[in-house]
């Protein structure tokens, strides 16, 4: 069963379609300014922390699917970068299980989605602040 907050979280992706944009390019969290995106994703991280392991996995899986289906490459990388920055602020004892859950969620997806996710996560890691990159790679 998907929790209502997961529906709300995934709904954030659908909340900001660009009116009148002929390209029908996807908006949402990926297009928010840095501070707003950080705030939205911080709220998501806080909600994830209160869930069981199975619920976290389901929520992460749905978030990755939604990004893979809706976000442009640039939006996807920005979101991954924001998530990496937030994740790097966690103590190592919380970061390792989070990263493991994130990797498990991605690996459970069909290959095209998992491949796109891996590619964009790797790109975001490469673009991350050196301290963030070091902490994330040390905890993978």
- Please write the tens of the pLDDT for every residue from 80-128: 999 999 999 999 998 999 999 999 999 999 999 999 999 999 999 999 9
* For range 24-30, the mean pLDDT: 52
Whole-number average pLDDT of the chain: 80
Report how many domains make up the chain.
1
pLDDT tier at 23, thresholds 50, 70, 90: very low
Closest C-alpha to 80, from 48, 46, 126, 49: 126
SS3 assignment, position 68: helix
83 within a domain of the structure (yes/no): yes
81 within a domain of the structure (yes/no): yes
105 within a domain of the structure (yes/no): yes
What pLDDT score does 5 carry? 46
SS3 assignment, position 100: helix
pLDDT tier at 28, thresholds 50, 70, 90: low
> What are the residues whose beta carbons fall under 8 Å from the beta carbon of 81, sequence distance 6 or more?
124, 127, 128
Between CA 30 and CA 36 the distance in angstroms is 10
67 within a domain of the structure (yes/no): yes
95 within a domain of the structure (yes/no): yes
| Domain housing 90 | 35-139
9 within a domain of the structure (yes/no): no
88 within a domain of the structure (yes/no): yes
This prediction has a pTM of 0.77
């Amino acid at each position: 069963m998907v929790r209502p907050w997961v529906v709300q979280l995934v709904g954030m992706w659908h909340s900001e379609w660009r009116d009148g944009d002929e390209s029908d390019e996807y908006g949402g969290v990926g297009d928010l300014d840095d501070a707003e995106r950080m705030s939205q994703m911080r709220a998501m991280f806080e909600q994830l922390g209160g869930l069981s392991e199975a619920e976290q996995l389901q929520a992460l899986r749905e978030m990755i699917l939604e990004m893979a289906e809706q976000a442009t490459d640039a939006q996807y990388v920005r979101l991954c970068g924001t998530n990496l920055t937030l994740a790097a602020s966690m103590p190592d004892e919380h970061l390792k299980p989070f990263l493991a859950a994130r990797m498990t969620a991605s690996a459970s997806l069909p290959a095209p989605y998992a491949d796109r996710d891996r590619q964009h996560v790797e790109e975001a890691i490469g673009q991350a602040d050196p301290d963030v990159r070091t902490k994330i790679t040390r905890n993978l």
